[in-house]
Structure 1
Amino acid sequence: VGNAIASIAILLYLQGGTLIAVGLGVAAAGFAGRYAFQLWKRLGQVLSQAKKMPTSSFSSHHYNGGFDQKMTKKEASLIHGISPTSTKSKVRDAHWRIMGGSPYMAAKINEAKDLLDKGQ
């Protein structure tokens, strides 16, 4: 009888540890689910606010057009991101800032710089 009680006590102890582990796992899953739900709600709010924003604010620095057949001073200043009446030092600084990329782009940038330098 003593051995039976001891073995039942050991069995309950071992199963109790398993039950505690399962309980902690369920609690952790519940907290993680709650946290994920709160994040999902916030994400939905942010996305709905982003949809309400005007799209022009995101694309205001993008020029919707290609290159002209003959480079103009306006196009040269657009390429460099400066005013058409900028000084030579501003043209040089802008040129060094944007130089790089494809050979075609480098040729266009150099052409734009030369045109802006001639106007000074």
Structure 2
Amino acid sequence: MATTMIVVGLGIAGSALLARAAVRMAGPAARQMDETLKTLGKFDFENYKYYRGGFETKMTKREAALILGIGQSSNRNRVRECHRRIMLLNHPDKGGSPYLAAKINQAKDMLDHGLKK
């Protein structure tokens, strides 16, 4: 009986220490979360560095690489792999836009042209 009381007492004491540590940790974590939310509210989405869309009148290697989501100096296998993946998602027979499919094919041709096998 005495050992049971000791075990119960140690369990209560341990729980109290854990609860105290959790309360102490919650203060800085709550402040950090508030600061993060304030910073996120000030985020400037207008000047964020991503491709804003729209196609140029004459496609460049940079635009072709952005369309396929690869680097301008990617090898032929990488170009074909990315082209296939994107075309499966945007093919006109599967409900995609014929214009986008044409641009994707044009991007592949632009990057694939001149690469060695």
Scaled by the length of structure 2, the TM-score of the pair is 0.53
User: Does the alignment pair 1:78 with 2:63?
Assistant: yes
CA contact (8 A) 2:64 2:107 kept: yes
Give the conservation status (yes or no) of the 8 Å contact 1:77–1:112. no
How far off its partner does 1:92 sit? 7.2
Pick one of 8, 16, 39 that aligns with 1:26: 16
Letter in 1 for 2:66: G
Correspondence list, 1:1-120, <5 A: 10-11=1-2, 13-58=3-48, 60-65=49-54, 72-74=57-59, 78-81=63-66, 90=72, 93=75, 96=79, 98-99=82-83, 100-101=85-86, 102=89, 103-104=91-92, 105=100, 107-114=102-109
TM-fit CA distance, 1:48: 1.3
User: TM-score under structure 1 normalisation?
Assistant: 0.52
Q: Which amino acid aligns with 2:58?
A: K
Cα distance in structure 2, aligned partners of 1:54 and 1:25: 45
CA distance in 2, matches of 1:56, 1:28: 45
For structure 2, the 5+ residue unaligned runs are 93-99
Question: How many residue pairs align between the two structures?
Answer: 95
Q: 1:17 deviation in Å?
A: 2.9
For the aligned residue pairs, the C-alpha RMSD in angstroms reads 3.7
Partners in 1 of 2:28 and 2:59 — Cα distance?
50
Amino acid at match of 1:110: N
Instruction: State the alpha-carbon separation in 2 of the partners of residues 106 and 46 from structure 1.
Output: 40
Distance change in 2, residues 1:19/1:50 (3 Å): same
One-letter code aligned to 1:111: Q
Residues 77 and 56 from structure 1, CA distance in 2 versus in 1: closer, same or farther, beyond 3 angstroms?
A: same
Is the partner of 1:56 in helix, strand or coil?
Answer: coil
Alignment deviations for residues 62-100 of structure 1 (CA, whole Å, 9 cap, x no partner): 3244x6xxx831488534339xxxxxxx58759817422
Q: Hey, which of these two has a bigger chunk of helix by percent?
A: 1
Whichever residue aligns with residue 78 of structure 1, its letter is E
